[in-house]
């Protein structure tokens, strides 16, 4: 069998290696229009920032190494420009010889990836210091600018690449401003969770301009123009405003395209032409939670898809059901991880949503260097199915999200999180892991003990709502929500008369993280109060959200 692969990196290179492991006789040709067939995309910001010292460490596989090990015909600097489906061949352009030729196939695998979105804005053509980051040549250009010691940099886009580049340029001593049209960074996270990350970036010295769009450039790119009239001086500007599927080749071949012009594939990763497969950042996938088409350009799905395509070509039964979109990012000293749907996504799909937020130490509090871990779970309040989760903290954060991602795949209910028997020793966790605590906390609302109120809603509460702070007096004096009355938990049962005698009066209770509030709510419930709320995530979540909003409003 003769198999052609268009594009290397994650999907294409994985497919090529797996194909050879399954068959020593197939003729396998891989085309890559650039020089490098397999490199670590996710490591590029860290090489620019000097965390990864050697450029060669980014090369996962070289042409020579992969050719020798897997007996492949690898043709870099050669670009497939046309697909002729009826003839089952492709047109190839050799960028070195400037020649064009035809290559036939029995099976064709498309893995061209995605292209950075590159807007056509005022002053773009003259802006030599405005760059993108997608591959090694892009990296080399940015590295060259960095060698000339730029003083100020602007990052446009608050996604993973934008946030990682902000951190790495800041580490080099460059003054960094991050601009995003959205009102938050990292949109896989809900607003109150992203607030934690934004506050961390501000603490480290990054300036955030959120809810502001890019208008264009002036002064040969040295001046960045924003749509609110602001002008930012910049020695280096990186556009990280997202990617779009590199599906032009498929579109010209009349293959079916879906959302954002991503290639539509079936459960076998075949396109609308069964002899043509597609993998990686170029395809539309099924979201495993919502069961709706989506676009998830991440490395894990691409690697998995490449392997599965090779299996199917070799007669193995496969069934690619889709992706959760599990991801993790380093944000200065913090770790931010997520899986599945966030609350906004679930609401937009019309799913009846409920959420729980908990704060716990990432390991036993009495063991040195315990740090706060914030976890949020999103679930269907009717079926109790887990829809997604987000975690922000330090060491061990991504482990908890991995556990919940596994629970989603295993179709566990949110209450099942309390049942999971997870590893425990003081350096690593607590006897009740934070994931277990999520399950317990969710069960309190599910059982009808009380409801929850979000930080975003507490300032707009109705006038008759009592806001009860059960922290100590010193905690209260150190900062509290306006209008709250303070009755310390340990004195609450003796001060019930300070609350309304009408036991149907709404009472929102909060402490630092929600645990003492839970104890207070249990007491109030036993005393006959029936309209009870726990402030979701406690004062800690409210304070992070409020501080983030105050910076945004400035």
Catalytically active residues are 42
What pairs with residue 89 in β-bridges? 84, 104
**Alpha-carbon gap, residue 263 to 293, rounded angstroms:** 11
CA distances from 106 to 29, 74, 229 (A): 12, 17, 56
Tell me the longest C-alpha to C-alpha distance in the chain. Answer: 89
Contact present, 193 and 392 (Cβ < 8 Å): yes
What pairs with residue 451 in β-bridges? 533
Count the Cβ atoms, other than its own, within 10 Å of residue 359.
Answer: 20
Count the Cβ atoms, other than its own, within 10 Å of residue 154.
Answer: 29
**Alpha-carbon gap, residue 217 to 194, rounded angstroms:** 29
Nearest to 176 by CA among 202, 198, 142, 194: 202
**Alpha-carbon gap, residue 150 to 71, rounded angstroms:** 45
Rg (CA), the chain: 27
CA distances from 21 to 28, 109, 270, 414, 435 (A): 12, 17, 21, 40, 39
Count the Cβ atoms, other than its own, within 10 Å of residue 153.
Answer: 25
**Alpha-carbon gap, residue 48 to 190, rounded angstroms:** 29
**Positive or negative, the Cα torsion across 477, 482, 487, 492?**
negative
Place of tokens 């009860």: 468
**Separation of first and last alpha carbons in the chain:** 63
Contact present, 492 and 520 (Cβ < 8 Å): yes
Contact present, 322 and 287 (Cβ < 8 Å): yes
DSSP per position, 406-444:
HHHHTT-BGGGGGG------TTT--SS-HHHHHHHHHHH
Give CA angle at 38 (89, 248), nearest 5°: 40
**Alpha-carbon gap, residue 99 to 537, rounded angstroms:** 63
């Amino acid at each position: 069998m003769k198999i052609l692969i268009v594009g290397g990196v994650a999907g294409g290179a994985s497919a090529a290696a797996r194909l050879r492991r399954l068959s020593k006789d197939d003729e396998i040709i891989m085309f890559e229009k650039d020089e490098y067939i397999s490199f670590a995309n996710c490591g590029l910001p860290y090489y620019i920032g000097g965390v990864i010292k050697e450029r060669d460490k980014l090369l996962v596989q070289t042409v020579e190494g992969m050719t020798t090990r897997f007996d492949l015909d690898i043709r870099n600097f050669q670009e497939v420009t046309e697909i002729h489906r009826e003839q089952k061949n492709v047109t190839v352009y050799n960028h070195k010889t400037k020649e064009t030729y035809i290559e036939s196939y029995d099976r064709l695998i498309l893995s061209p990836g995605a292209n950075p979105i590159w807007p056509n804005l005022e002053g773009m053509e003259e802006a030599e210091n405005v760059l993108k980051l997608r591959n090694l040549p892009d990296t080399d250009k940015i590295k060259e600018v960095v060698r000339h010691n730029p003083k100020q940099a602007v990052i446009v886009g608050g996604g993973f690449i934008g946030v990682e580049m902000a951190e790495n340029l800041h580490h080099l001593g460059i003054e960094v401003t991050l601009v995003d049209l959205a009102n938050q960074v990292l949109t896989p996270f809900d607003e109150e969770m992203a607030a934690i990350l934004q506050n961390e970036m501000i603490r480290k010295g990054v300036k955030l301009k959120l809810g502001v769009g890019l208008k264009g450039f002036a002064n040969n790119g040295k001046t960045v123009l924003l749509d609110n009239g602001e002008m930012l001086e910049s020695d280096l500007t990186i556009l990280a405003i997202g990617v779009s599927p590199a599906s032009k080749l498929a579109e010209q071949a009349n293959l079916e395209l879906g959302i954002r012009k991503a290639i539509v594939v079936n459960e076998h990763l075949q396109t609308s032409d069964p002899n043509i497969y597609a993998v990686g950042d170029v395809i539309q996938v099924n979201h495993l939670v919502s069961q709706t088409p989506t676009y998830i350009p991440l490395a894990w799905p691409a690697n998995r898809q490449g392997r599965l395509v090779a299996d199917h070509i070799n007669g193995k039964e496969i069934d690619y059901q889709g992706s959760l979109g599990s991801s993790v990012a380093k944000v200065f000293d913090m770790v931010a991880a997520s899986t599945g749907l966030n609350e906004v996504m679930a609401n937009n799909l019309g799913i009846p949503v409920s959420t729980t937020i908990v704060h716990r130490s990432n390991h036993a509090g009495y063991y040195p260097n315990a740090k706060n871990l914030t976890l949020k779970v999103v679930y269907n309040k009717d079926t109790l199915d887990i829809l997604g989760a987000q975690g922000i903290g330090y060491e061990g954060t991504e482990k908890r999200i991995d556990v919940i991602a596994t629970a989603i795949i295993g179709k566990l209910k949110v209450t099942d999180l309390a049942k999971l028997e997870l590893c425990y020793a003081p350096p690593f966790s607590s006897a009740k892991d934070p994931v277990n605590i999520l399950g317990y906390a969710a069960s309190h609302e599910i059982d009808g003990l009380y409801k929850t109120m979000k930080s975003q809603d507490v300032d707009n509460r109705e006038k008759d709502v009592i806001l009860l702070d059960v922290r100590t007096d010193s905690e209260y004096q150190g900062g509290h929500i306006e209008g709250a009355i303070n009755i310390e938990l340990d004195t609450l049962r003796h001060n019930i008369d300070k609350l309304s005698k009408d036991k149907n009066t709404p009472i929102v209770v909060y402490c630092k993280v929600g645990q003492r509030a839970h104890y207070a709510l249990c007491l109030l419930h036993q005393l006959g109060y029936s309209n009870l709320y726990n402030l979701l995530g406690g004062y800690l979540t409210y304070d992070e959200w409020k501080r983030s909003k105050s910076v945004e409003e400035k």
